């Protein structure tokens, strides 16, 4: 099933996409009952398909990306947070934050949580997943190196584009994942190369943090994430899910 959040009569609505048609979806975290038709997909604005209370991200989880950072995949998954205020919709602009010199886009497979969970047994993790989507872990590289931790570098406003929708029935361990800078391929890998696999990550993070419906897990980026400039566009594409595109915008001035 394909699950989306769309703007309908000015309000966010959970929906399911069937072909080109969009239907209201009642009780998205529960029975998921299909209701009335809302319209055609091309006529509706897509919103980020999650309402997180927290966003847990994994760093250095593809061997080639870890190597280009001068590191190896950590024995235990390396976790960091983004605040929910970092989230933006498909097509929204990424805003260049004040004072950084370099912003990179990172194509990632994202997981959205369906049910409240703590201490998930490794073989039951699928029960807790609402679906999979594309995410962009937008990162200020100079701050990432200089700050000693990644709060500002990876948590600033607009640093988490997510979408275009959730796909429920893909195998997260075998999906081609690509990132395009202005339409040209920069990143090209597969989630088969993830060091710590998606299911293991869902169970692992639930040892430490109670997962809640709508929470997001970002699984890490493959090699060669791309630097962005004012006006450039980055597209994250995950096989079987879709494409997420956002443009970088550098404000003329920050204070009015």
Contacts to Mg ion by CB under 5 A: 106, 137, 221
C-alpha 128/C-alpha 53 separation (Å) is 16
Where does 30-70 show beta strands of DSSP type E?
A: 33-40, 45-47, 55-59
| Shortest spacing between CB 108 and Mg ion, in angstroms | 6
| Shortest spacing between CB 137 and Mg ion, in angstroms | 3
The helix or strand, by DSSP H or E, that contains position 66, with its residue range, turns out to be helix 63-68
Q: Residues 16, 166: contact at Cβ < 8 Å?
A: no
**Which has the closest alpha carbon to 92: 138, 144, 131, 24?**
138
Of residues 8 and 80, the one with the C-beta less far from Mg ion: 80
| Shortest spacing between CB 220 and Mg ion, in angstroms | 5
**Which has the closest alpha carbon to 179: 96, 112, 246, 121?**
246
Backbone angles phi, psi at 138, to 5 degrees: -65, 130
Of residues 14 and 150, the one with the C-beta less far from Mg ion: 150
| Shortest spacing between CB 135 and Mg ion, in angstroms | 9
Of residues 28 and 201, the one with the C-beta less far from Mg ion: 201
Sign of the CA dihedral running 161, 86, 143, 78: negative
Of residues 15 and 55, the one with the C-beta less far from Mg ion: 55
47 to 3, 42, 141, 166, 244: CA distances (angstroms): 11, 13, 27, 11, 11
Of residues 137 and 237, the one with the C-beta less far from Mg ion: 137
| Shortest spacing between CB 94 and Mg ion, in angstroms | 15
Of residues 51 and 137, the one with the C-beta less far from Mg ion: 137
| Shortest spacing between CB 29 and Mg ion, in angstroms | 26
| Shortest spacing between CB 123 and Mg ion, in angstroms | 27
Taking residue 9's Cβ as centre, other Cβ atoms within 10 Å add up to: 6
The token pair at 178 is: 């690509």
C-alpha 79/C-alpha 86 separation (Å) is 17
Of residues 155 and 213, the one with the C-beta less far from Mg ion: 155
Give the residue closest to Mg ion by C-beta: 137
């Amino acid at each position: 099933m394909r699950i989306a959040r769309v703007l309908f009569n000015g309000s966010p609505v959970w929906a399911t996409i069937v072909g080109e048609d969009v239907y209201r979806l009642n009780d998205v975290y529960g029975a998921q009952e299909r209701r009335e038709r809302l319209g055609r997909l091309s006529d509706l604005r897509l919103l980020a398909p999650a309402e997180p209370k927290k966003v847990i991200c994994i760093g250095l989880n593809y061997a080639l990306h870890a190597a280009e950072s001068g590191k190896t995949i950590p024995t235990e998954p390396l976790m960091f947070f983004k605040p929910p205020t970092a989230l933006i919709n498909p097509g929204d602009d990424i805003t260049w934050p004040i004072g950084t010199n370099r912003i990179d886009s990172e194509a990632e497979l994202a997981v959205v949580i369906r049910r409240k969970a703590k201490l998930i047994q490794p073989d039951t993790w699928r029960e807790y997943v609402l679906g999979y989507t594309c995410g962009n872990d937008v990162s200020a590289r100079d701050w990432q190196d200089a700050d000693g931790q990644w709060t500002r570098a990876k948590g600033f406003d607009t640093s988490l584009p997510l979408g275009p929708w959730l796909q429920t029935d893909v195998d997260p361990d075998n999906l081609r994942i690509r990132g395009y800078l202005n339409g040209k391929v920069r990143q090209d890998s597969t989630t088969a190369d993830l060091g710590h696999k998606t299911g293991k990550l869902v169970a692992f993070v639930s040892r430490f943090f109670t997962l809640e419906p709508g929470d997001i897990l970002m699984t890490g980026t493959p090699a060669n994430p791309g630097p962005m400039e004012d006006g450039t566009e980055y597209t994250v594409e995950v096989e079987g899910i879709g494409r997420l595109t956002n443009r970088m915008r550098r404000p003329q001035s920050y204070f009015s």
